[in-house]
Amino acid sequence: MSGKTIITIGREYGSGGREIGEQLAKELNIPFYDKELIALAAKKSGMSEEIFSDIDEKATNSLLYSLATGAYALGSRMSPMSDMPITDKLFILQSNLIKEMAQEGSCVIVGRCGDYVLRECPHVLNVFVHAPLEYRVQRVKEVYGVESGAQEAVRKTDKRRASYYSYYSSKKWGQASNYHLSLDSAKLGLSGCIQLLKTTIDLLEK
Amino acid sequence: MSGKTIITIGREYGSGGREIGEQLAKELNIPFYDKELIALAAKKSGMSEEIFSDIDEKATNSLLYSLATGAYALGSRMSPMSDMPITDKLFILQSNLIKEMAQEGSCVIVGRCGDYVLRECPHVLNVFVHAPLEYRVQRVKEVYGVESGAQEAVRKTDKRRASYYSYYSSKKWGQASNYHLSLDSAKLGLSGCIQLLKTTIDLLEK
């Protein structure tokens, strides 16, 4: 790629959105951020990565939950965010990191409301990857080796992502108008999605 | 194009979805169906085109409305649909026409719940074209020469299309998962959208 493009990817669980993003970043030779964000955020804040993993992408909004998990007390080291639920703190930390990454140059960012966080950024391409439920359940079984309860896992993860997204962005997760490009990975294939994204980036950089 | 692909296009008002479909059909040298459907349906049923134009893409569901418009009485000529609101009759007529068109070969079909009507068809590519409200209002002013009330017209038309779509398909209009590909025409440009659609068709026909 010749110019600067930040690709954010929202994805239904099991759709292959993360894999598409990872492969795209590889082919374009640009950084890829997903779980890495958590580690980076954890290091920056001094909080343990375990806590971050546990609450990541859950919009808890409840002070009680933070108190119950003991996460709230940890926050007292941090000012001026010390009277804020830990989920919101994590969101702010990750948002700042995402903005820094976008400033540095082209990259792929999966999840974490990247499209919303970078809503003021002109070089962003917001993508949503989805697929029919039966395709995703089958893929979760095959790729992640989940034997039983795959459908339940897919439904629960989607529900969690949807509520995380709407809690922080006040928009509806998976609504076409929130993204520049939405792709059905079952119809188009993972490599087809990657090819379409590359064509789109070429178009935008012209 | 080498194989057979039916492209259905749902579109937000003012997004240029119709123009994209028309140009795509031209470039692929395949039929394009939009308002033409109404004329065809009208001819087939023996109803006047004026009546069809008036109720097209309105999901009325109310017998009272049909009676009030006088449209209901006309239906009595038609059996066995004679006890059905005229909007539903038109939907069924158009659905049958769409299925016939899809049977005949590659084509572009704009609106009319084409994606839902052809849900059993394997050669279909369902597309949704959208754009931010301010872009569409500006475009409606420029392209359609609407001077005042453009924003209101955009909102009302979208609302009507959304309720038409959800009434007949029981799905949410503009939700990414209902389509194989959703495109932001403001970000990608009308010619960019056409190029992406051509790349997608090539991918699917490989």
Residues 128-187 of B with CB under 8 A from A: 128, 130, 132, 174-177, 179-184, 187
Instruction: Please state which of the ranges A82-86, A91-95, A146-150 shows the lowest mean pLDDT.
Output: A82-86
Option in B177, B183, B189 nearest A181 (CB): B183
Predicted confidence (pLDDT) at residue A185 exceeds the cutoff of 70: yes
Per-residue pLDDT at B198: 98
Instruction: Tell me the pLDDT band of B58, cut-offs 50, 70 and 90.
Output: low
Residues in chain A: 206
Q: What is the pTM of this model?
A: 0.86
Strand order across the beta sheet in which A181-184 lies:
A32-33, A107-110, A6-11, A124-130, A181-184, B181-184, B124-130, B6-11, B107-110, B32-33
> Span B139-148, mean pLDDT?
90
Instruction: Please state which of the ranges A128-137, B8-17, B30-39 shows the lowest mean pLDDT.
Output: B30-39
Option in B176, B180, B199 nearest A179 (CB): B176
Instruction: Tell me the pLDDT band of B65, cut-offs 50, 70 and 90.
Output: very low
Tokens 């082209």 label which residue? A106
Predicted confidence (pLDDT) at residue A175 exceeds the cutoff of 70: yes
Instruction: Tell me the pLDDT band of A63, cut-offs 50, 70 and 90.
Output: very low
Tokens 């299309």 label which residue? B161
Option in A125, A181, A204 nearest B182 (CB): A181
Mean pLDDT in chain A? Answer: 84
- Find, among B115, B164, B166, the residue nearest to B6 by Cα: B115
Q: Check residue B184 and report its DSSP letter.
A: E
Instruction: Give B24-33 pLDDT, tens digit per residue.
Output: 999 999 999 9
DSSP string, B86-141: HHHHHHHHHHHHHHHHHHHS-EEEESTTHHHHTTT-TTEEEEEEE--HHHHHHHHH
Instruction: Tell me the pLDDT band of A156, cut-offs 50, 70 and 90.
Output: very high
Decide: A92 and A80 in contact? Cβ < 8 Å. Answer: no
B9 touches chain A (CB under 8 A): no
* A45 vs B91 pLDDT, higher one: B91
SS3 call for A70: coil
Per-residue pLDDT at A119: 95
Q: Specify the amino acid at residue B34.
A: D
> Span B105-123, mean pLDDT?
94
